[in-house]
Structure 1
Amino acid sequence: MSDITVTALSFAEIREEHLPEVLDIYNYYVLNTTVSFHTEPLSLTEMRQAMLNGDPRFKSFAILRGGDMQGYVLITRHKNKQAYDTSGEISVYLKPDCTGRGVGESALHFIEKKAAELEFHVLVATVCSENERSRQLFLRNGYEQSAYFKEIGSKFGRRLDIASYQKIIGNTSYIT
């Protein structure tokens, strides 16, 4: 691991003042990678709607080091049906120069703890199969590949596959 240590990181719920930097991070991935399946950059209004959704269970957090944003992590609704309410979808987006330094793993541990506090039972992460770094992050941290969809997306003139990973984090006796 390089000069960034996990103890130097902090997490803050995303607020309006974080949005321009969050938008820049996300739109970098939209324009340059297959990490996001958006093909057009998002607007500040679209990012605001995604990050500041008003639902107390589905939250977004800035990843900070000494007050400087390293990226962000979020938990969103997995499916919009009540039976899925104990499942959440997680995503981690880092500034390109903050990858490979343990920041993503710290963010993953943070969001898992937050999800457990919010009484989620299962976390799901969906990544493009080309994104080997993210795939390995989830596998190293106890996620199991639970689905693989071939040629489900198209970007940069290529057909793309996605893989879904899941981890059971909650009490297995709780059923509604």
Structure 2
Amino acid sequence: MNRPVMFRDLQKEDIPTLMDIYNHFVVHTTVSFHTEPVVLDEFTDSVIHKNPRYKTFVITCDDSIQGYVQVMPHKKKQAYDTSGEITIYLHPECVGRGIGSAALAHIEAYAKLHGFHVLVSTICADNEPSIRTFAKNGYSQCAHFREVGFKWGRFLDIVTYQKII
């Protein structure tokens, strides 16, 4: 990664671009367990949160959108309020350039400032690049659910990684 990666608050006008990035993974990979592209209202609901503590950041480089990172509720019960679920989606051309690690550092700093104690991420077990990124950034596998998804005629596993921050 040669140029600096920047993070900024999500703006409504970013949503179609971020949705296109997400839908690429829906259509072409097992990274997402959606089997059909999401529509604008559904995607908007997934990146704009009523509680301001949960947030989506747009990842940019040279003023170009590279993807997004977000922290959202892990579960809806109050005892989980110190846990956050994080996700990162990058434009396919941006994978493998260190942007995922930068996004993790950014979201962890934000989460610490907002009272989170632990961050978790659920990843399709096929998604080896994402698993490597989380592992090299101090996340450890804490769960493995076998054959819980079904896409493209086959069953898929998920793994959950966590980090106490």
Q: Indicate whether the TM-score tops 0.5.
A: yes
Deviations 1:86-143 (CA, angstroms, capped at 9, x unpaired): 0000001000000000011101110011111111000001101110001111110111
1:54 offset after TM fit, Å? 2.4
Runs of 4 or more consecutive aligned structure 1 residues displaced over 4 Å after TM superposition: none
**Contact persistence 1:126–1:163 (CA under 8 A):** yes
**TM-score, normalised relative to structure 2:** 0.97
The residue that corresponds to 2:98 in the other structure is 102
- Unaligned runs of 5+ residues in structure 2 are none
Structure 1 segments unaligned to the other structure (5+ residues):
170-176
Match for residue 144 of structure 2 among 142, 145, 148: 148
1:146 corresponds to which letter in structure 2? C
Residue 135 of structure 2 aligns to a residue in which SS?
helix
Residue deviations 1:56-88 (CA, integer Å, cap 9, x gap)? 111001000111001100011101100000000
Q: Displacement, 1:149?
A: 0.3
**Structure 1: how far apart are the matches of 2:11 and 2:45?**
12
Q: Quote the residue 2:88 is aligned against.
A: 92
Structure 2 match to 1:83: 79
- Distance (Å, rounded) in 1 between the aligned partners of 2:5 and 2:140: 27
Q: Which moved more, 1:45-54 or 1:116-125?
A: 45-54
Moved more, 44-53 or 33-42: 44-53
TM-score by length of 1: 0.92
2:59 maps to 1:63: yes
Give the deviation of 1:51 after TM superposition. 1.2
* Local SS of the residue matching 2:161: strand
Q: Give the CA RMSD over aligned residues.
A: 0.9
* Distance in 2 of aligned mates of 1:90 and 1:18: 19
